[in-house]
Amino acid sequence: MDYSEFSGFLLGRCSVREFDPEPLADEDITSVVAAAQLAPSAGNLEAWDVVVVTDEDARQAMSDAAFGQAHVAEAPALFVVCANYIRSMSQYGERGILYAVEDATIACTYMMLAARARGLSSCWTGAFEEDEVREYLGLPAHIRPLAILAVGKSSAPVRRAEHMDIENHLHYNTW
Q: Which residues make up the interface to ligand FMN (CB under 6 A)? A: 14-15, 17, 69, 123-127, 161
Nearest residue (CB) to ligand FMN, 17 versus 134: 17
Least distance to ligand FMN, CB of residue 17, Å: 6
Nearest residue (CB) to ligand FMN, 43 versus 97: 97
For 45, residues 6+ apart whose C-beta sits below 8 A from its C-beta are 87, 88, 91, 99, 103
DSSP-assigned letter for residue 93: T
Least distance to ligand FMN, CB of residue 14, Å: 3
Least distance to ligand FMN, CB of residue 125, Å: 4
Q: Tell how far CA 31 is from the center of its chain.
A: 14
DSSP-assigned beta bridge partners for residue 125: 148
Least distance to ligand FMN, CB of residue 91, Å: 26
Least distance to ligand FMN, CB of residue 124, Å: 4
Closest CB to ligand FMN: residue number: 126
- Alpha-carbon distance of 91 to 89, in angstroms, equals 5
Nearest residue (CB) to ligand FMN, 53 versus 123: 123
Nearest residue (CB) to ligand FMN, 161 versus 166: 161
> Residues 160, 16: contact at Cβ < 8 Å?
no
H/E run at residue 121: strand 121-125
Instruction: Decide: helix, strand or coil at residue 37.
Output: coil
DSSP-assigned beta bridge partners for residue 84: 143
- Alpha-carbon distance of 143 to 130, in angstroms, equals 11
Nearest residue (CB) to ligand FMN, 38 versus 161: 161
